[in-house]
Structure 1
Amino acid sequence: MKWAYAVAAVGALVLPVVLAPGQLTVFILLGLSAMAVVGLSLLMGYAGQVSLGQAAFTALGAYTSGLLSLHHAPPLLALVAAPVAAALAAVVVGVPILRLRGHQLAFATLALQILLLSVLSGAQWAGGAVGLQGLPYLSVGGFELDQDLDYAYLVVGGVLLVSLIAHRLVHSRVGRGLRALATGEMAAEASGVPVGAYRLLVFAVSAAFAGLAGGIYCFFLGYLAPGSFPVLLSIEYVVMAVVGGLGSIAGALLGAALITVVVQLLTSLATQPGMPSYAPSVLSYAVYALLLIAVVLFVPKGIVPTLRRSL
């Protein structure tokens, strides 16, 4: 599989130069999704926690960067604050909700996202339903990132950073405990693994990855609104993680790439003349359901783990 990583790395460096402007935007959004999905894949694959609110941490990171930059904080500091704020929020909410299991936890994380979006929609300090406008470009050492190509390579760097951190975590002492936790909670606890602490750690790391994606998104788009982070986005993240393979960094990246392309195709189809206004949402939910059913039936471990076993 090493050749596959090499091809992916070369492709990530070459593609931004050859893509058309619209395609470059899709490439950036793909990378941002990949960053959030890597964390979610770890959370679901190792800690066994199903989160339907990953986009809440993306929104939290984006609004943290946006508000700080509008209040004249250095843009780079505002970007760094995004994953930190998301991780701290995950620790605060994770202590009570990680006591839940199964569908209860899934619904609790979904409720958190709905609550956050409601607060942002009604908060004047966050721009309300209109959102934050006129956000500055990200600048580093006097160099301003004002082109899509700049953000494309920033996203590539972000995906690389997130992947390296996730890889180090999985292959560390904590990672060994997480693998034991993935095989069975009671057995891991009997072996001395601090199950609660490790679950909270992975939840915070997952949130930090999503927060970093949100921070970059804030500067790339220059505009934020609660509608930018719908519940459907969290569902997309879950589908990406499951399709690619839970607990697999490569699976998260592949799942993000496949689903992002599918979303763009669905958007193009649903916005054709004569299609109703609700067509994008209906098509998205239908295709996500079909994809999940297909994965469960034919590749229950996800695409990447299945390929690894067959090679």
Structure 2
Amino acid sequence: MKYLLLAVVVVTLALPPLLPEKQLAVYILLGLAATVTAGVSLLMGYAGQVSLGQAAFYAIGAYAAGLLSVHGVPSLIGLLLAPVIAAVAAVLLGAPLLRLRGHHLAFATLAVQLILLSLLGQGTWAGGAIGLQGIPRLSGLKDDIGYAYVVWAVLAIVLLISRNVVASRAGRALRAAATSETAAAASGVPVGGYRLAVFALSAAFAGLAGGVYAFYLGYLAPGSFPVLLSIEFVVMAVVGGLGTIAGPVVGAAVIVLLVQFLNELGTQPGMPSYAPSVLSYAVYALLLIVAVRYMPKGIVPTARRLASRSSRAAASPSAELLEERA
């Protein structure tokens, strides 16, 4: 496992200078998507809450960092404040929303995103429908290679935080609550408080990714954060494996690369203008069906189970041979 982790680190560090400009942009977007998905995976896998509005917190972080920098705040400070502002927004929204469960919560978070998109589109303070322009680059970064390293460093930090949360008392309490909320509450576990904390943490992850995204593009518009993006994050989490550390990265890689392929396919001569979005929705639905039917726990848990089964099968003949010799 250590050698596999080392190999991943080496490849991650070696790739940016080797990638062409277009592929480097995809690599950066993949890292940002995985960062947001890490929060969705925690929220769904441990808190048992489904959010269809995670792109709203992505937008809050992006616009917070962008607006602060446009008004003279140093870009690094804006980036550090982006997750804080997103987390505060999540606490204010989550206090009433997390009283809901299941599809009621999912629709409520979706409504939050729709309201936010309307506010951003109508508000002159955020650039309106034209968008927020003139966002400077992060201090010290002169090219996209630097952004790639920043994005994947942010992802590494987020995954480390996720791992610590999962192994903490709060993580164990959330797992107990997922099994039986009534029993967990009866044993003194503050289920509501832990769920709100995870909701805020997932929003902070999205806000941090949004801040990097704002400085990377230098321009923001409401159309950059569609409802489809929130659905993408959920699909990434489910396909990769809810509640796993590597799942968000695997799920993001599958979806981002697939979306890029579909966009290129949908923009071929003779294809209608709506082809990319229609293809994307169709593939998301197909992936969810396949994941639920054949890999209900996601790619990463399924791969671990198959690897464990293979190792036991490989060890079994050796054990039998030793028994025969004895």
Report the alpha carbon displacement of residue 146 of structure 1 after superposing the two structures with TM: 2.3
Q: Distance in 1 between matches of 2:76 and 2:130?
A: 25
Aligned partner of 1:185 in structure 2 is 181
SS at match of 2:242: coil
Q: Distance in 2 between matches of 1:187 and 1:302?
A: 27
Aligned partner of 1:274 in structure 2 is 270
Q: Distance in 1 between matches of 2:92 and 2:26?
A: 33
Report the alpha carbon displacement of residue 233 of structure 1 after superposing the two structures with TM: 0.4
1:219-254 CA-partner distances (Å, limit 9, x unpaired): 000000000000000000000000000001101111
Alignment equivalent of 2:259, drawn from 263, 274, 291 = 263
Aligned length: 307
Aligned partner of 2:17 in structure 1 is 17
Aligned partner of 2:77 in structure 1 is 77
Alignment equivalent of 2:239, drawn from 238, 243, 248 = 243
Aligned partner of 2:316 in structure 1 is none
1:166-196 CA-partner distances (Å, limit 9, x unpaired): 1111111111112212222222212221100
Q: Distance in 1 between matches of 2:183 and 2:5?
A: 34
- Alignment-mate amino acid for residue 269 of structure 2: P
Report the alpha carbon displacement of residue 302 of structure 1 after superposing the two structures with TM: 0.5
Aligned partner of 2:321 in structure 1 is none
Aligned partner of 1:50 in structure 2 is 50
Residues 2 and 190 from structure 1, CA distance in 2 versus in 1: closer, same or farther, beyond 3 angstroms? farther
Aligned partner of 2:204 in structure 1 is 208
- Alignment-mate amino acid for residue 225 of structure 2: F
Aligned partner of 2:6 in structure 1 is 6
Aligned partner of 1:150 in structure 2 is 146
Aligned partner of 2:287 in structure 1 is 291
Q: Distance in 1 between matches of 2:9 and 2:62?
A: 27
- Alignment-mate amino acid for residue 301 of structure 2: P
Normalising by structure 1, we get a TM-score of 0.97
SS at match of 1:145: coil
* CA-based RMSD: 0.9
Specify the structure having the higher radius of gyration (Cα): 2
Q: Distance in 1 between matches of 2:130 and 2:142?
A: 23
- Alignment-mate amino acid for residue 69 of structure 1: S
SS at match of 2:48: coil
What residue ranges of structure 2 are gaps of 5+ in the alignment?
308-326
Write out the 4+ residue segments of structure 1 that deviate beyond 6 Å after TM superposition: none
Q: Distance in 2 between matches of 1:189 and 1:310?
A: 36
SS at match of 1:138: coil
Aligned partner of 2:191 in structure 1 is 195
- Alignment-mate amino acid for residue 129 of structure 2: A
Q: Distance in 1 between matches of 2:182 and 2:2?
A: 35
Q: Percent identity?
A: 66
1:254-287 CA-partner distances (Å, limit 9, x unpaired): 1011111001000000011111111111000000
Q: Distance in 1 between matches of 2:254 and 2:2?
A: 20
Report 1:76-95 matches (<5 A): 76-95=76-95
Aligned partner of 2:107 in structure 1 is 107
Q: Distance in 2 between matches of 1:132 and 1:138?
A: 16
